[in-house]
Amino acid sequence: MTKNTSRNTRSKQTNKKKPFYRKAWVWLIAALIGFGAAGANLGDADEAQPEDTAPELVEETETKEDRQEETDAQAVSEQDPVEEPEETETDDAVEEEIDETEDTAKEESREETGEVVEETEEVTEEPQNEVTREQDFALTQARLNLSYSPYSKYALYDQLILEGYPEDAVQYAIDTIEADWNEQALKQAQDYLAHTSFSEDSLYDQLIYDEFTEEQALYAISNIEADWNNHALKQARDYLDYSTYSDSELYDQLIFEGFTPEQAQYALDNIE
């Protein structure tokens, strides 16, 4: 009786149903649902992530670019400044070489052809005034005067003024006439010695008085052929023709006239 009772009890216990939450399939389904929900949440998070992180990526990219630009700018500023090519010396040297080459080529060409090319500077010539009638006459008269007698430049000027030509015409004649004033001085000295006696010094003084320059007078004295001893003798005779002199007085007079002591003594020794 007792055994039957215990069997029945076990049979009841065995046949008694478990709660639904203790069954395995319930947990399996719950797990699948949980995994699905988690997957959905992850998908939403991934879709939303670009919208939230995009500005940060852009900002980060821009920051990197800015940093790169700053780094590049700093590197450029730290470099030595780029020097501009100096054109002056190089260009000048090249131009000088070109000019020299051209000049050499021109010279060689001239030598080969035998041409002599004179380089002329451009000169703005002032318009020349036409020669007036009086200027032309004054020039003609100046030439006539020189053909008859020697003149210094200043003596010829004075002579033309004396003859009545205006100053501008006389100046034109003096500036235009072709004359060797050294030769005029020499001719004047020869004329003096042909008519009277002079010492070398007195002849020089006479040429200066006639308005020849010192250089012209010296040229005449240096180039004239004269026997100064003989001129001293002639001068002594001239003095004695007009007056009486003792030897000492005559000697002193010749010295005063510019003769040398030797020339004066020669005159005294040879006078009759």
Question: Which DSSP string corresponds to 5-29?
Answer: HHHHHHHHHHHSPPPGGGSHHHHHH
Cβ atoms 224, 196 nearer than 8 A: no
The reported pLDDT for the residue numbered 31 is 67
User: Per-residue pLDDT for 248 more than 60?
Assistant: yes
Contact indicator for 224, 262 with CB cutoff of 8 Å: no
- Say if residues 200 and 221 touch (Cβ distance below 8 Å): yes
The total number of residues shown for the chain amounts to 272
Read off the pLDDT band of 186 (50, 70, 90): very high
CB-side exposure of 62: number of CA atoms within 13 Å? 5
Q: Picking from 23-27, 113-117, 129-133, 187-191, which range would have the lowest pLDDT averaged per residue?
A: 113-117
Sorted by where each begins, the domain ranges of the chain are: 132-179
The rounded mean pLDDT for the chain is 75
Per-residue pLDDT band for 97 (boundaries 50, 70, 90) equals low
The stretch 172-193 carries a mean pLDDT of 95
Which of the given ranges, 6-10, 82-86, 100-104, 183-187, has the highest pLDDT on average?
Answer: 183-187
* Mean pLDDT of the region 24-35: 63
Distance CA 202, CA 113 (A): 60
pLDDT of 51 > 90? The answer is no
pLDDT, tens digit, for every residue of 116-138? 445 545 555 655 678 899 999 99
List of residues 6+ apart from 207 with CB closer than 8 A: 185, 188, 189, 216, 217, 220, 221
Query: Which of 222, 231, 186, 228 shows the shortest CA–CA distance to 207?
Result: 186
